[in-house]
Structure 1
């Protein structure tokens, strides 16, 4: 039966599976269980529930099921033989989405304590155990699983089903060591969306002996957790300009912003103010005004990157902040269009400005409606359309992808092709650069014609991609 230690202030419960001998291995002044318990104490965890009964795999799984049925909020399941950076645990426990996720590492060196998984599009789409195989695995599971509140019933059902299969001997010689691995297999095969939280350079290792435990603890000291946190605050899938010409220096402003206690929404507001000033300078219509506007627009975009980095570093995301950031991006861009049109002395500029604005609205609508369709499909799937699966199948069948998607995936593997693909879609960083360079070097007519031509190509590319993905 689980023992409970109550904490306050959050909606996450942590379940520690302390039923294997390794959790009693020594670490510092205590055991691995004590070490992990202390780490959870500094993370946003409402309560820690230690499952310590020695009834085997079936008893462990039934203990998890009972907790999942009786608790509210998010539930994280961790083996007590885990040696991990606190920052690695925080990737799940401090993530503001409180979603269903698994801690993974992008390597293919598997072992009984690091089973294989396959990750696609940031999701775990196949998971393995000693009984379940994963063809084309590209990552390993590192033992920490979190179930969002909406998926607690699924977690409980899966845990109970696995317990029955294990007790009936239908899963082969699986042991209590694989409890978390089997839960991940069950969630993935039941169609539950499981976010893949990659540990990057951090460490998270399950151990089985004292020498391995001591070596794992030593490896923790070889990594600067604070530096990793700063590095991961910078988006790793951003556009070319944002990655190389903005984030390369705004990352150094994150810690000073934290010391000044600047909120991400405050930085968003300053960014919007600079864009408004840029529009005012553009409206002057002079060469000097356009140059000043271009500089202010670049600084506005830099702060737009900084607010996201600050939010990720401090993990202070909020629905309001996300909405404000998205709305600010649109308003900043459109007010700059107006400023440029006002500052142009020749005829026919307003139709070009309106056309560029409509094109960007259509492009955003393509993305927004596609994202909304995916969300609706996920909700429908959660109710009645989850894919058929069997926990008794020992293998996972690779899904076939369409030709267009296969080509896109091959392009992603090449660095040059991947960056070209990002540039083609004309993300906001490239748009801001296009506006700044053409306005400062030429005039508003060149700016709007460039936006219409490049934006039209980007819209067709996006539309083709969305149709291909939908057809899959």
Structure 2
């Protein structure tokens, strides 16, 4: 059967379905497994679907992928036709806003012929395996779905051609056509391309080889409520202590309500800014009742600040403008509140009673401190992004595909500050303390609300300067240690 292509207009991603194993023709309620995968791709933002049929052998399959990669634009999704997965599991990868290179992985590290091992560190796949390539210290398994960002398509094509040559000459041992995508993941990781680990979580994605396994895999899909998982995974897993335990534990209810009301994430951001302005107005009154009401509005504004991002992830209405507006709104809200607090404190202390006691200097100092902290943070992230863009040539030199064992980057344990940080990360209490030390926005908003409601602006700014200064020192030490490691 020749390769077939289905095209839909107005979308940017393309998909390659490898129907190269007999299991692609196994039956299910929707026809065959190949039919099921094609139907799922129609529910996702995929423009072109290329189906590579059985019969050419591994080398031919890989060359077919290389040919498609060289003529494609946008992202390219590779998946096998013998895959039984939740549509939401595919969306975790395909609908991610970054549109970068990523692989669908499961924390279940039980390795099998259709579940090759991988090692994941800091949200990235740093080592990948096949029947030929071994992965020491594997901590996850690859589930067959690979997305390649547009910038890496040329690298993918070159790797596919190289692998095809190695497979045809038998230099990769007894690899088979079922491993085509597994081998491509190995090649991308070893070439230095950054591969995001898209975590499967409670969803299912399994490749099958026989009808009983296919029937069981399809049956297991009904054990999971995809809508609930989508809502639960809209909550950031690496958020701060206050956001995680005091907001995100119940904010999904607001996310569902906002979705029903058809509110956009930017609209929720706008409401959040409005509440912060109202909080500043009440703080400017300077009375105890006004301080308490302002504190309540600050907390509600932060709740909506969490909801806008969760709503964007839940509805997958991502945009670069929305991300930029959200980041700018956070700074704007915080500084407006500072101004309101300073005005209110000044109004309650006239010159005859000691004056405002330098409250404006404290407010400006708090603003400058936060600006410095954000500058340190964002400049470091920018440097890391630059290093990743050129990592294939110097930071992460390519590793040969003929090396059977992939030791990746974690063969040597880290020592010093970074080693201590890694050890602390394994302890739950220490991990949460680390998150709190850096004074994320949730902790800052809570600190402002509590100190303003029960004390006054001078106490608020003193607390912000003391805790913020400690956070800045912690950030500087950490960034320097990472940069010189």
Superposition TM-score, scaled by structure 2 size: 0.96
Equivalent pair of 1:5/1:48 in contact (CA under 8 Å): yes
SS at match of 1:438: helix
CA distance in 2, matches of 1:416, 1:317: 33
Select 2:371's aligned residue among 355, 361, 365: 361
For residues 56-455 of structure 1, what are the structure 2 equivalents within 5 Å? 56-344=57-345, 345=349, 346-382=356-392, 386-397=396-407, 398-400=410-412, 401-455=414-468
* Counterparts in 2 of 1:374 and 1:66: CA distance versus 1, 3 Å: same
Equivalent pair of 2:392/2:398 in contact (CA under 8 Å): no
SS at match of 1:146: strand
How far has the Cα of 1:361 moved from its partner? Answer: 0.6
SS at match of 1:132: coil
SS at match of 2:133: coil
1:279-316 CA-to-partner distances (Å, cap 9, x unmatched) read 11111111111111100000000000000010000111
1:378-437 CA-to-partner distances (Å, cap 9, x unmatched) read 223356665131000011123433432222222222221111111111100000000010
CA distance in 1, matches of 2:141, 2:391: 26
Runs of 4+ residues over 4 Å off in structure 1: 382-386
How far has the Cα of 1:22 moved from its partner? Answer: 0.9
CA distance in 1, matches of 2:205, 2:85: 4
SS at match of 1:205: strand
Equivalent pair of 2:25/2:32 in contact (CA under 8 Å): yes
Equivalent pair of 2:286/2:344 in contact (CA under 8 Å): yes
CA distance in 1, matches of 2:30, 2:384: 49
How far has the Cα of 1:105 moved from its partner? Answer: 0.4
CA distance in 1, matches of 2:215, 2:55: 25
Cross-structure match for 2:353: none
Higher deviation after alignment, 456-465 or 381-390: 381-390
Equivalent pair of 1:405/1:468 in contact (CA under 8 Å): yes
SS at match of 2:248: helix
1:349-382 CA-to-partner distances (Å, cap 9, x unmatched) read 1111111111111100010100111111122335
CA distance in 2, matches of 1:404, 1:373: 20
CA distance in 2, matches of 1:221, 1:52: 29
Say whether residues 1:31 and 2:44 are aligned partners.
Answer: no
* Number of matched pairs: 472
1:120-163 CA-to-partner distances (Å, cap 9, x unmatched) read 11110110011111111111000000001010000000000000
Q: Which runs of 5+ in 1 are unaligned?
A: none
Equivalent pair of 1:2/1:63 in contact (CA under 8 Å): no
1:306-358 CA-to-partner distances (Å, cap 9, x unmatched) read 00010000111111001000000001001111111111123211111111111
Q: Which runs of 5+ in 2 are unaligned?
A: 350-355
CA distance in 2, matches of 1:399, 1:463: 27
CA distance in 2, matches of 1:296, 1:318: 27
1:26-47 CA-to-partner distances (Å, cap 9, x unmatched) read 1114111111111111111101
Cross-structure match for 1:462: 475
SS at match of 2:332: helix
Superposition TM-score, scaled by structure 1 size: 0.98
Equivalent pair of 2:76/2:147 in contact (CA under 8 Å): yes
SS at match of 1:238: coil
